[in-house]
């Protein structure tokens, strides 16, 4: 085609005979596929190959399009599932935080109860010791009074 353009751009193109010469030279360069009678080359095989190639390309495009739609649908479903999981995760995190706070409160309450129990046991032991001391004192006083009354009784008989 560059050769044709070069030949057509010269002064020789003014004559019809020289145009035939140009076409013949071009035909020789193309391997004899064109005749001087300007016959059309056979393109049926080329057309059929192009048609098959276009059909195959369309089939591949359709498959890729289906794959892309399927991937988009799956991506949308995964996105929805991810949002649900994030919501569930947030609720679980809130529940764990609430239970952690409650556990901290119950632990503090348990420690306070242990401290109160220790204080109550110590107070009870002090009270018990005081009761024993008071009982011993009362017993000794009563024993001394009984002895004195016995002694008076004995002296009153004598």
- The domain limits of the chain are 1-41, 45-127
**Percent of the chain surpassing pLDDT 70:** 72
122-143 average pLDDT score: 94
Predicted pLDDT at 35: 47
- Per-residue burial over 109-135, b if 16 or more Cβ lie within 10 Å, else e, is eeeeeeeeeeeeeeeeeeeeeeeeeee
pLDDT higher than threshold 70 for residue 40: no
In whole angstroms, give the CA distance from residue 73 to residue 70: 5
In whole angstroms, give the CA distance from residue 7 to residue 26: 10
DSSP string, 28-75: HHTTS-S-TT-PPPP-HHHHHHHHHHHHHHHHHHHHHHHHHHHHHHHH
Mean pLDDT score of the chain: 83
Predicted pLDDT at 13: 45
Predicted pLDDT at 51: 86
């Amino acid at each position: 085609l560059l050769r044709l353009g070069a030949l057509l751009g010269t002064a020789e193109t003014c004559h019809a005979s020289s145009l035939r010469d140009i076409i013949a030279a071009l035909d020789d360069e193309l391997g004899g596929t064109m005749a001087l009678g300007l016959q059309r080359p056979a393109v049926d095989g080329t057309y059929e190959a192009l048609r098959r190639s276009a059909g195959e390309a369309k089939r591949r495009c359709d498959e890729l399009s289906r794959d892309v739609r399927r991937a988009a649908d799956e991506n949308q479903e995964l996105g929805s599932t991810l949002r649900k999981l994030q919501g569930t995760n947030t609720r679980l995190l809130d529940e764990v935080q609430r239970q952690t706070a409650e556990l901290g409160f119950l632990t503090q309450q348990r420690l306070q109860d242990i401290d109160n129990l220790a204080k109550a046991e110590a107070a009870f032991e002090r009270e018990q010791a005081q009761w024993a001391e008071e009982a011993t004192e009362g017993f000794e006083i009563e024993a001394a009074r009984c002895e004195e009354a016995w002694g008076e009784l004995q002296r009153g008989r004598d």
